[in-house]
Amino acid sequence: MKSIILIVDDNPENLSVLGNLLSRNDRSLIFAQNGTMALDFAKRKGPDLILLDIMMPNMDGFEVCRKLKQDIKLLDIPIIFLTAKIEQDDVVTGLRLGAVDYVTKPFNQEELLTRVNTHLELQTTKKELIIALAEKEEALATKNKFFSIIGHDLGNLFNGLLGFTSLLIEDDVEQEKKNDYIQNIFKAAEKGSDLLKNLLDWSKSQIGNMQVEPVLLVLKDVVSRNVDFLDTKAEAKNITLSFEIQNDIIVFADLNMLNTVIRNLLSNAIKFTKPNGTIKITSEKLGNLIELSIIDDGVGIKTEDINKLFQINMTYTTIGTAEEVGNGLGLILCKEFIEKNGGTIGVESEFGKGSRFYIRIPINA
């Protein structure tokens, strides 16, 4: 991106000299001949550096500097004063107003270029640091949110396990109630297992221990293994689970990550599909991508909630059709893993009628 330099001087000859000296392919120069124009250009263009003449009619450079430093959007723009005077008072006044440097007229080419280059580099570094700090703060907030959710879910999970276990070991519990308690313990353990898998995968991804190692995969084989793995869950709700994928469809992806994505999407479909419902898995070629769809006739998602999916700061959770609970972290993991493999993830849904979650992944390297 080009650096923008705003040059302010009421003398056209000075503007021409400065323009010739500072003109480079990586810079965009803007010229103003008075303070009013300078303030207008600064607000509209957001320059990276301002060269500002002190002695101008109507509004001198000092006043322009004051107004710039009073604007929260402009106060961080570095200002180099241009002056024909070398009196100490002018220099001190300019620096006290917030200028970073000054150059005296007539201009010494080497001195001018050195000062301009130095402050442009400093401004670029400052912007990069601000961006890096913002990214770091965002990443920290994301991690805090993630572990807050995990902590809350683990607390509830162990409370349930301990509660039902303590009831189970009582001597006078009827067999029917014991069976009910055992079923609840099993559900809690199953949820804990899913939670732990996602937590470990996400943690590896965040600390860089999970490398993306894409290979050519037969999509039907990958889907089949995940269907077999989750078939028991579907049978428990009498859900018909089927897939229609041709034998010759090859994708280029990391096997572990793709398994995690399909497992989470399929598990969610089972969770939000009513007993006796149906789930279909289909594939379609779209250019150099394969689109894999998981389609259910479940509860669907409200339009206003769709935008909350895949965002940890807007984690969306709801209860499954058999009172299954979740935390929305699986979808966040799916998005991260698919994007690491050069693909995309999306959803189409109609509340009360069902959803189609889809991923698009490359066919080859």
For 258-302, how does the pLDDT look when each residue is reduced to its tens digit (9 = 90+)? 988 998 899 889 988 989 999 999 999 999 999 999 999 988 888
82-91, 133-142, 325-334, 341-350: which has the minimum mean pLDDT? 325-334
pLDDT of residue 328: 56
Q: Which of 84, 107, 130 is the last residue of a domain?
A: 107
**What CA–CA distances, in Å, run from 352 to 53, 147, 179, 300, 301?**
67, 32, 33, 5, 8
Verify that 360 and 219 share a domain, yes or no. Answer: yes
- Domain boundaries, position 365: 212-365
Q: Are the beta carbons of 271 and 237 closer than 8 angstroms? A: no
Instruction: Tell me the pTM.
Output: 0.52
- CATH code of the domain in which 17 resides: 3.40.50.2300
How high is the pLDDT of residue 148? 65
What's the number of domains the chain is made of? 2
| Angle formed at CA 226 by CA 346 and CA 349, multiple of 5 degrees | 25
Predicted confidence at residue 327, as pLDDT, reads 46
The pLDDT of residue 312 is 60
pLDDT averaged over every residue in the chain = 84
Whether 101 is in a domain gets the answer yes
pLDDT at 150 over 80: no
Answer yes or no: is 332 within a domain. Answer: yes
Between 22-26, 60-64, 65-69, 236-240, the lowest mean confidence (pLDDT) is in 22-26
Residue 318, classified by CB atoms within 10 Å of its CB into exposed (0-12), middle (13-18) or buried (19+), is: middle
The answer as to whether 204 is a domain residue is no
Task: Using the 3D structure, point to which of 76, 107, 138 is the last residue of a domain.
Answer: 107
The residue-averaged pLDDT of 317-334 equals 61
Domain presence at residue 49: yes
**Predicted confidence (pLDDT) at residue 10 exceeds the cutoff of 50:** yes
pLDDT in tens, 180-191: 778 778 777 776
pLDDT tens digit string along 160-217?
Answer: 778 778 777 776 777 777 787 787 787 777 767 767 776 776 666 666 656 788 999 9
Which CATH number is 346's domain given? 3.30.565.10
Q: What is the pLDDT of residue 35?
A: 93
Tokens of 155: 């607390």
* 216 and 365 within one domain: yes
